[in-house]
A and B are shown apart, each in its own frame.
Chain A
Amino acid sequence: MDLTFTEEERRFRDEVRAFLEASLPAAMRHRLLEGLHVPPEDTVAWQRILFRKGWGGPSWATEFGGTGWDPVRQFIFEEECAAAGTPRLLPFGLKMVGPVIQRFGNAAQHARFLPRILSGEDWWCQGYSEPESGSDLASLRTLAVRQGDHYLVTGQKTWITLAQHADWIFCLVRTDRTGKAQAGISFLLIDMKSPGVEVRPITMLDGGHEVNEVWFEDVRVPVENLVGEENKGWTYAKFLLGHERANIAGIGGSKRELIRLKRIAAEERKHGRPLSEDPFFAARLAQVEIDLMALEITNLRVLSAEAEKRAPGPEASLLKIKGTEIQQALTELMVQAVGPYALPFRIEALQDGFAGPPVGPEYAAPLAATYCNMRKTSIYGGSNEIQKNIISQMILGL
């Protein structure tokens, strides 16, 4: 057993760090590290910077234009990006539809879609959930009826993250209503500019616009946009869900937020002394730090098993649950750390360059909204209750 990274892995980390140091624009970094609003332009610009470096697809094989990095290198890359404060790479293209197209798509689909994901030209979003189909995803009802050389799609998807910026949406649609629910689902790629597609915003509890409803009314989708075989979509969906492993625990992001929390706790005062010296607060902070240490090693164990080609299994559920619990705990402690100054809620102060009169320390402004927003993490991507079902059934065999 050796819990240290190899010499080559350390050199790789240095290379990544040097690149980020040289290539990450300061304004982007500032917005991310201070919890300010990150405009979509940042996300696209950062993808293009990585693309020009040849790192546009950190988790993709070289044959598709990716880096060919093993899971440990992917982990190191994501950790360094998180620490440096890069905008988040959009998972919808790189980690979701990209791998599905690679594995199950045809050559024409490879050529048409994959390069534009790497270059940042296409913004993808994910059309899975429906109002009546959340945890019970297989009950979905958005209908795709084959008519000659196209499908006619009608239905409603919901919780579509950043659909308002998307060029394309990949959807699970029902192509067969007979038989078992899972057996009648197909995986369809739909151009968001198609007539009959409507995006309706959902206002979140922090006042933000992050997710949407997407409505389809008799939307014509060419048959060549079907991935793989008709009615095999559930298999592809399961492949996709099992694919986003390297960063599901969000270790890098949580390490960055832990540093931010410590910085805030050193600035804040309790009884005239630094809050970081308060035994109550220090104990809470230490507990989260220890949980994060444990999860990092657990995460590396899972990655290492994956690198040795042992099947990556339901451990991802464990990483997701603990990872989101830690992310949420960090936002709770930040809110607690700033005391009464967590309460003012000025949406305009979350925009970079806000010039209004200051209220409390600058770092306090986004914290309560972030705390509220991060409640989503234990709900999305398979709620933590669903993840516990997976652990019970797949790991414990109950």
Chain B
Amino acid sequence: MHFNLTDEQRALSDMVQRFLSQEYASDARRKILRSPEGWSREIWGKLGEMGLMALQVPEEQGGMAPATVETLLTMGAMGKALVVEPYLSSAVIGTALVRGLGTPAQRDALLPAMATGERIAVPAHGEAGSRHDLSRVATTARRGGAGWILDGRKAVVLHAPAADLLLVTARTAGAGDAQAGLSVFVVPATAPGVKLIPYPTIDGQRGADVVLSGVELPADALLGQEGQAFEGISAAFDLGVAALCAEAVGVLQATLDATTEYTRTRKQFGVPIARFQALQHRMADMLMHVEQARSMSYLAAMHASSTDVKERRRMVSAAKVTVGQACRYVGQQAVQLHGGMGVTDELAVSHCFKRLLAIELSLGDTDHHLERFITESK
């Protein structure tokens, strides 16, 4: 067992961190958040040039999958910088969906452009009634027109406004939360019948509700086999959870660093407030949360591509529980220890706090993964 990085991995991590610290500093990020699109194509293009979108793309389509550790390092760096570009949605989950479900022809058609970042494809999966259940899908796809006709509504599709393609889960058979009968369709965001209701999210990212009204698709829009998508979806989302955990660790570390730095410089009663033991112990607790979360993010990354599905789910859920609890504690205490400054928009800590909240709620909240861990442990 070892936790060492190869020279190449260290170089990649350094490169990403250096780029983001130069081009994605606080002011630059604020400008991006305030822009009409809410993300930067320029930054996205440069991240693509670094090869980061290729990490989960197979070699046959011009990528380097499975680059598990590289993905972990990239997500951590993006967490530290609070990157809002659609990396997790397109380069991790979207890419894993196409890789896992697509036929060789579909992979050839879609992945090369995703590997460079030229094409952005995001999952449109969750619905109003599904909460965090992956198999509870009501959107339907029926045969008709030249192939398929989709109807339904997708809730809180992150980065949908940035996407060229939506990877829409729809039911071709079954009902309720049946795993059988789920299919994924490649839907151009501009297809007739697709309507986006876009909005910012609490953490400054962008999302949309996606309304699908009689969307006609060609036969080959179906990704892989009809009705057999559940396991591919589950695998792609577990990889997404592992990546999200890695991002969380980056945010958590940045949040803790900001807090120790602030308490060292903020003086009250004639001394830096970091001298007060009550606050020292609080920051020690924050550190323990960060380190436990980091450990679990490694565990999740190492099991995210495991062929033992039960074990994969169990490990990924355990990680998300630990990370979710860390997000809650570290985020809240960081704001608290910053005092009034912590609840302003001015300091980075409030932006970290909001991202930590969003991470905790995304891809299954703490209770969801606690329950799944119990189920998969039986």
Residues of A bordering B, CB below 8 Å: 129, 132-136, 139, 158-159, 202-205, 207, 211, 268-272, 275, 278, 280-281, 284, 332, 335-336, 339-346, 357, 359-360, 368-369, 371-373, 375-376, 378-380, 383-385, 388
Contact = CB atoms under 8 A, between A and B. Distances in A.
A359 B357 contact: no
A160 to B, nearest CB: 11
A136 B276 CA distance: 13
A379 B155 CA distance: 35
Contacts of B284: none
B267 A270 contact: no
B367 A360 contact: no
A389 to B, nearest CB: 8
B311 interface: no
A378 B337 CA distance: 10
A342 B128 CA distance: 12
Interface stretch (B49-57, B70-78, B197-205): B197-205
Contacts of B346: 202-203
B63 interface: no
Nearest to B338: A379
B191 to A, nearest CB: 19
A388 B129 CA distance: 43
Interface centre among B136, B156, B279, B332 (most CB of A within 10 A): B156
Nearest to B205: A343
B340 interface: yes
A137 to B, nearest CB: 9
A341 B335 contact: no
Contacts of B371: 280
12 contacts: A271-B133, A344-B202, A345-B202, A346-B199, A360-B209, A372-B202, A372-B350, A372-B357, A375-B336, A378-B336, A379-B340, A379-B342
Given A269-B131, A270-B131, A372 B354 contact: yes
A182 to B, nearest CB: 13
A205 B343 contact: yes
A272 B176 CA distance: 8
Given A135-B268, A271-B177, A342 B361 contact: yes
A139 B269 CA distance: 8
Nearest to A138: B269
Q: Is the interface of B mostly helix, strand, loop or mixed?
A: mixed
Contact of A345 (B136, B197, B201, B278): B201
A332 B332 CA distance: 11
A158 B340 contact: yes
Contacts of A281: 367
B353 interface: yes
Contacts of A158: 340
B332 A375 contact: yes
B162 to A, nearest CB: 16
Contacts of B342: 205, 375, 379
Given A360-B128, A384-B336, 4 more contacts: A205-B342, A341-B156, A345-B200, A372-B353
Contacts of B269: 135-136, 139
B207 A344 contact: yes
B156 A272 contact: no
A12 B97 CA distance: 64
A172 B213 CA distance: 62
A345 B199 contact: yes
B156 A340 contact: yes
B36 interface: no
Nearest to A284: B367
B343 to A, nearest CB: 5
